């Protein structure tokens, strides 16, 4: 009985200091909270049953926050395909400012990046590029309350409610494991956290303590962020030394049977050759047919390899994966030029 009381007290004490301040974004109290929300109440009861949380404490957490309209607006997909533009997307991420910042980040953390590359087999420039695309090397890690963002999406966004309930569950577990206040952690509108913008489930599964201080801190430790990015890619099947993607000549129009809407490696080299397209590998090699659409311009087609697919596990977008790849190439070439010039 004494042990049970101690366990109960520990559960309650964990969140008592966390309720001092509400999790309202940008200092504005929402008109609606999750205090009487049936979904939030059911979620709290489930977390108490499965993970030993205090149901009352979780309900108090949800009462301290409410739906965020800007989160719901930001998560909405583009209204039409015409709004998608590879060139516009590329200009945002693959540019001189981001590469210059990346070279400085690479120089500042050269030993850590080299170590991560050696341990996990991921090229240094890809590690740097992902952090550059995600947060401009830690400059923009998000201003949203992660608790509020995830609760909003879990309880007010039916298309992906199941996914975000899972992330909310992992977020609360992560906060408890690290003895952090759920109300104090900031991140993206989708609940991604820290320098590499890991979702809570990814942080619990793939993040590593790369600076050896005994804790994983993706918000404040560039070393942990660098090692965790490399760990994530390696655990998703990065092939050391293998290519990422190959461009098809501009103006190429693959036959309909070779186009695809996902990034799985479903196109064989032999099928590509039968269609008159150049494929770099043996007949058994497989690729994703990647289309990079820009309105009023020819569509760029690329053959994505396994490593392209791995990058897309970070963000399931062909635009994203290509931006990471091309920023990485730009960083590598510019670093080589600086070394050649003796700088």
What amino acid positions are annotated as catalytic residues? 134
At residue 108, the 3 state secondary structure works out as: helix
Burial class of 127 by CB neighbour count within 10 A (0 to 12, 13 to 18, 19+): buried
By the 10 Å C-beta count (0-12 exposed, 13-18 middle, 19+ buried), 188 is classed as buried
User: Is-contact 235 206, C-beta < 8 A?
Assistant: yes
In this structure, which long-range contacts are made by residues 165-169, counting pairs with CB atoms below 8 Å and at least 24 apart in sequence? 165/43, 166/201, 167/191, 167/199, 167/200, 167/201, 168/43, 168/200, 169/43, 169/47, 169/51
- DSSP for residue 213: S
Q: Which residues of 214-246 are buried (b: 16+ CB within 10 A; e: fewer)?
A: eebbbbebbbbbbbbbbbbbbebebeeeeebbb
What is the Rg, in whole angstroms, of the alpha carbon atoms belonging to the chain?
23
d(CA 138, CA 133): 10
Helix, strand, or coil here: 343?
coil
């Amino acid at each position: 009985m004494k042990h049970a009381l101690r366990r109960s007290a520990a559960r309650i004490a964990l969140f008592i200091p966390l309720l001092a301040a509400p999790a309202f974004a940008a200092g504005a109290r929402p008109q609606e909270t999750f205090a009487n929300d049936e979904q939030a109440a059911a979620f709290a009861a489930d977390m108490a049953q499965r993970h030993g949380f205090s149901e009352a404490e979780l309900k108090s957490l949800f009462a301290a926050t409410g739906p965020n309209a800007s989160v719901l607006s930001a998560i909405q997909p583009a209204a039409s395909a015409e709004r998608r533009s590879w060139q516009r997307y590329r200009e945002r991420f693959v540019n001189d400012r981001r590469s210059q910042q990346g070279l400085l980040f690479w120089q500042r953390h050269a030993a850590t990046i080299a170590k991560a590359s050696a341990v996990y087999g991921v090229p240094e420039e890809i590690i740097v590029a992902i952090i550059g695309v995600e947060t401009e090397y830690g400059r923009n890690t998000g201003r949203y309350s992660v608790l509020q963002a995830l609760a909003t999406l879990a309880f007010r966004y039916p298309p992906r409610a199941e996914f975000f309930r899972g992330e909310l569950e992992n977020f609360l577990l992560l906060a408890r494991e690290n003895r952090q206040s759920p109300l104090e952690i900031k991140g993206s509108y989708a609940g991604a956290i820290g320098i590499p913008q890991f979702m809570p489930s990814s942080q619990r599964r793939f993040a590593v303590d790369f600076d050896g201080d005994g804790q994983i801190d993706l918000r404040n430790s560039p070393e942990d962020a660098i090692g965790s990015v490399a760990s994530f890619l390696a655990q998703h099947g990065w092939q050391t030394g293998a290519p990422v993607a190959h461009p098809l000549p501009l103006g190429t129009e693959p036959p309909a049977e070779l186009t695809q809407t996902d990034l799985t490696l479903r196109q064989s080299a032999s099928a590509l050759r039968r269609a008159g397209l150049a494929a770099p590998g043996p007949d058994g090699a497989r690729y994703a047919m990647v289309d990079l659409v820009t309105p009023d311009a020819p569509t760029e087609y690329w053959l994505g390899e396994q490593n392209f697919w791995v990058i897309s596990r970070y963000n399931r977008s062909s635009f994203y994966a290509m931006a990471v790849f091309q920023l990485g190439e730009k960083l590598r070439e510019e670093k080589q030029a600086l070394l050649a010039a003796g700088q």
